[in-house]
Structures are given as C-alpha cells and as structure tokens.
Structure 1
Amino acid sequence: MTEEKKNQTEENSNGIPQDLIDRINELAYKKKESGLTEEEQAEQKRLRETYLSMFRENFRSHIEMLQVYDKDGKEVTPEKVKRIQRERGLRDD
C-alpha cells in the first residue's frame, strides 16, 4: 500500500478520515495565502459540513455510551441518556 493510499484510509481519534482533514486544512491555508475560487469555496463548505456531521455523530455516540457516577458511587447518568441506552439495548434496568 502506498503512503498516499495509507493516509487516505487512516482516521484520527474522532473517527474522521485523515484525508478529509488534510483537504480542509489545505483549503484553509490556500484561502489565507491567495484566496479560493468559487469551486474551492463550495468544496470547503461541503467538506466542513461533512466534518461537522461526522464529528457530531461520533461525539453523540461517545456520550450515549457513558455512565456517570457521583463521588459516593451512585449512578447519576441523566435520564435522557439512560432512555437512549435502553432503546439501543445497552442497559438492563
């Protein structure tokens, strides 16, 4: 596998493809240096929307898997999160 192909399939710790992040950063740098064409501006907007959508989805998934406990060991997970966990079969109570 070439290094370029490897980078395209890698994801960062948030589960977002590295090539998506690289392209967003490339366009941001170009915008500062020389400006973007209309096509590049549209691409930048689309890539940012994709990034935010993926980030939100991954963040929501992480939050929904959490259980929160107070210092006495009593579970204080918010009811909304408990309900979602029950709906997904992640809780027995």
Structure 2
Amino acid sequence: MDIDALVKRINELARKAKQEGLSQDELLERAQLRETYLQNVRRNFRQQLESIEIVDK
C-alpha cells in the first residue's frame, strides 16, 4: 500500500470513529495502519540522518 492510500484510509477511519465509532476489526486495522505509517516515517527519517555528512572547518 502506498503512503497516500495509507493516509487516506487512516483519515477515513478517523472520520468514522468520530461520527459513529469503529468495530473491533476497524480498530485493529487502524492500529496496524498507524504502525505501518510510523515505521515508514522512522525509516525515512533514519535515511535522512544517515545521509548527513558532518564537515569540520
């Protein structure tokens, strides 16, 4: 699942949670989607940090 589709589904579940609540399956799906999103953010941030080169002058 690409990041845009992931965020879209998370937002759909968030709206539904506010309006009518979520079933147990939807709560589980939301938790899994959030964890996938966070793993992606962490991986990208780690890559950015690893690409930084410190130069002393």
Matched, 1:60 2:46: yes
Superposed counterparts of 1:40-51, under 5 Å? 40-51=26-37
Aligned length: 57
Higher relative contact order (CA 8 A, sep 6+): 2
User: What is the alpha-carbon distance in structure 2 between the residues aligned to residue 35 and residue 68 of structure 1?
Assistant: 49
The percentage of aligned residue pairs carrying the same residue is 44
Q: TM-score, normalised by structure 1?
A: 0.56
Larger-gyration structure (1/2): 1
Matched, 1:36 2:22: yes
Contiguous gaps of at least 5 residues in structure 1: 1-7, 10-16, 75-93
Matched, 1:25 2:8: no
Q: Deviation of residue 53 (structure 1)?
A: 0.5
Q: TM-score, normalised by structure 2?
A: 0.87
Greater share of residues in helix: 2
- 4+ residue runs over 4 A deviation: none
Q: Describe the superposition over 1:20-60 as per-residue Cα deviations: whole angstroms up to 9, x where unpaired.
A: 00000110111011100000000000000000011100110
Q: Comparing 59-68 with 33-42, which one deviates more in the overlay? A: 59-68
